[in-house]
Amino acid sequence: MSEEIGKLLELQEKDRERYDLLTRLEQLKEEHLRIEQKLAEEQSAVEERCQQVKQLSHDSRGKNLEVDDVDTQIRNYQKRLDEGIISFKEMEALQAKIANQRNRIDEMEDNAIELMDMMEIAEAKLVEVERDLDEQKRCFASRSARISSQILEAKEKLESREQERAAIKDRFPAHLLSHYEGLHSQFDDPVVAIVNGLCSGCKLKLNSTTIERARTETEIVTCQNCSRILYIT
């Protein structure tokens, strides 16, 4: 293998490593974003439950106040019945009001109990989801730290590949480099071996002149079909 081909293969290898590192970086960034989104979703679910508990607590307080109001009304009616000098008609009317308000208060008390039960269940669930969220946060923090250090590691490796790549590129004649770069924009493997008379890039059979020229290693030989740079191992 000629020295030029050797250097081209070295460059190709650096490009492959660079591509793998870039892919890895993208994957890591996506993974980080995914776990961030998952945590944000969990957080908003907990906030929603917290709001639900607050609303139930507010409704429950309101219902208890309503019960107290109606209770006061009943007491007032009863007081007028017990103390006032009133007509029979008024007495009947007050008794009807008391009976009516007592029915209302029973219903309201049932509602108040129902609301308190709902609130207890919601509070217990909130405690549970808050505990889960704490666990998720701990898990997120350690995964996030791990991913961040992997990202950093990949970036450092990438930077050193870039430097190695630049150093290799500096040693190439401009025309050869531009030929390689042109091919590299189309293929991951611009430099390929001739295997059993075939270009191992496009898999087409090469003519004997091309194979012979590659064997002599006096010049850069390309595939007549895909233009990849060829060499014989």
Beta bridge partners, 75, equal none
Question: For Zn ion, which is the closer residue by CB, 70 or 176?
Answer: 176
Which residue's CB is nearer to Zn ion, number 136 or number 210? 210
CB of 172 to Zn ion, least distance (A): 21
Least distance to Zn ion, CB of residue 8, Å: 15
Q: Which single residue is written with the structure tokens 């505990």?
A: 131
Binding site for Zn ion (CB under 5 A): 199, 201-202, 223, 225-226, 228
* Nearby residues of 150 by Cβ (< 8 Å), 6 or more positions away: 28
Query: CB 201 → Zn ion: shortest distance, Å?
Result: 4
Q: Closer CB to Zn ion, residue 177 or residue 202?
A: 202
**CB-nearer residue toward Zn ion: 67 or 193:** 193
Q: What is the 3-state secondary structure (H, E, C) of the chain?
A: CCHHHHHHHHHHHHHHHHHHHHHHHHHHHHHHHHHHHHHHHHHHHHHHHHHHHHHHHHHHHHHHHHHHHHHHHHHHHHHHHHHCCCCHHHHHHHHHHHHHHHHHHHHHHHHHHHHHHHHHHHHHHHHHHHHHHHHHHHHHHHHHHHHHHHHHHHHHHHHHHHHHHHHHHHCCCHHHHHHHHHHHCCCCCCEEEEECCEECCCCCECCHHHHHHHHHCCCCEECCCCCCEEECC
Of 98 and 223, which has the nearer Cβ to Zn ion? 223
- Nearer to Zn ion (CB atom), residue 5 or residue 199: 199
Residue type, 6: G
Q: Smallest distance from the beta carbon of 224 to Zn ion, in angstroms?
A: 8
Q: Tell me the closest approach of the beta carbon of residue 187 to Zn ion, in angstroms.
A: 9
Residues 221, 229 contacting (CB under 8 angstroms): yes
Count of residues in the chain: 233
Q: Which is nearer to Zn ion, 211 or 226 (CB)?
A: 226
Nearest approach, Cβ of 200 to Zn ion (angstroms)?
8
CB of 223 to Zn ion, least distance (A): 3
